[in-house]
Structure 1
Amino acid sequence: MASIDRTAYPRFARAVSERAEVLAPAVERAFAEHRSLLHAVAYRVLGSVVEAEDVVQDAWLRWSRVDVATVADAEGYLVRVATRLAIDRLRSARVRRESYVGSWLPEPLLTDPDAAQNVLLKESVSTAMLLVLESLSPVERAVFVLSEAFGYGHHEIARLVGRKHATVRQIALRARKAVQTRHRRYDTDQATRRQATERFLAACLGGDLNALMEVLAPDVTMVSDGGGFTGAPRKAIHGRERVARAAVILSAHRPYGSLAQIFQVNDGPGIVIHSGRTPVLAATFHLAKGTIEVIHVVSNPEKLTGVAL
């Protein structure tokens, strides 16, 4: 029998534990089969690991109260609940982000390097794409994610978001056009990206400015998100030399005894620094013509849940 991994998400685990003794195995098994999908949808709609985890928890609580025997389509029911919860959360999150200290970036997430995975599904989790999706309204974002990343048809999405089919079709067209206008294409070859990331990390650890500038594009940009909790720059840094110096300084001031390693983060090689088992920083890179053009650095401790060991 499939069972829910109660260690995966703390809040979710607590909710399961409180009700586990009274739940029929079929209820738990049916939810477990779709939990990863619910988290994947919610994360892409929200750009937040923590918020996505809360959506999964709330969806579980609602599922545990229904008579599963009366639900003909468990996936459709659960995705509908999770999507609408995510839309509501995104609306309130937008208000909170207006007073956010410094630059706001999506929460980094360790991802599966499986090359067989759907290309659009993989691209939709990249930091660059998540930032583009921030320009859409909550409903537009949900419709785009369900359509482009997960392949749901407009009729299905209409039921999931509670809109008419014609309305959903127009929303999808509008969202796709907005994304195509704003989304810049970067190098997708994993080998090239990993090589550049390895060179970047080696140069930072060695304090080698010249080697670092060789892997950076002339107009490279570094955006840091410390949320006011760390000394991260509150404005983007532009230019090869300035970014190189900032990266070396950042590397030199990492916690004593911490370890910087390369992981698959948001569908690309990224760098995560851990102090013990606690993540203190995560960086993702976007390349064009073999050199790094954009670096996103998250050091806000509240946003590193997705890269914890």
Structure 2
Amino acid sequence: MGQLRRLNFPILFLSFGLALILWTNVVALRQEEQSVTGAFTLPVETRNLPGGYVVLGSIPSSATFTAEGNRDERTKIDPKNLKAYIDLSKPNRSGKYVIRLDAPTEYVVSWNPKEIPTQVHLEKEVQSDPLPVTVEAIGQFKLQNFRYDGATAEPSTIVVTGAESLLKKVDKVRAYLNLSDLESQSSVRASIELIDKNGAPVQGVRPSTDTVVIRAIIAARPPRRSLLIQPVWQGSPEFGTTIADYQFTPAQVSVEGPADVLANLSVINTKPINIEGLNQTTTLQAELDLPLGVRLTNPSPISVKVFVKSSGNSPNQPGNSNSQGNP
């Protein structure tokens, strides 16, 4: 009897060990099945946006939801059947909304989080009054014996649609015309830009058209002449001083216009330059008094340096030969 017992003890211990190992594996498998998770990152859709409203600012482009369940249920999930969305059917002043998950009920898993809070600002959509299209020329006009006389846009006005707060930022509708493109054609199609007072694009609004046809006005170039500038003074320098000389920058200008008008010009007069009470050498800005039909070929700022000297007790003396017209 004792011998039988001695033979059974090792078998009992072995059986107990095998049972313990088997039980441990079963528990581990069950725990593994219960703790299986999977994360799904999905693009966010907007749903039920009320008519006449627009979304201001940005909405999260994606959201992540995690599924938790046993392995078999987890493997059933097809990401194509999952949708993340925001329901905008009820606009509110606070702008508080949530991102939810739209998943088939056949997936027996738990989703975390249930919903994701986010901020969305809705505003009523309105239309602007017709806005004129401004054509801005860039580049260099290269056609010989012709000149560029401006351009027109077709359509000449557009309507902009968007949130009222954004429409208020639109200061100008701009289209660029590259003068270099006019070598082979007089009309081009150009994109328009909606810009604010600082010249920056206004985002989030829609123009009634994205492009316009720009038609350049090209005319035969009239005759040209280079002429010296003749000052016309207004007022008198301070008592005891006189205008000794003057110097224009540039010294002469190139003008174009009708041949009969240019033929009668020897100089170009300035508009009256105020020198009242002048008592020292000073640089002043000057404007040209251009005859009708005459214009500068290369407009640029014009200045005149007026040299003042003391005349002592003698009357004002005339300046040098460049100072004709001195008071």
TM-score (norm 1): 0.24
Of structures 1 and 2, the one with the larger relative CO (CA 8 A, separation 6+) is: 1
Higher CA-based Rg: 2
TM-score (norm 2): 0.23
More strand by share: 2
More helix by share: 1
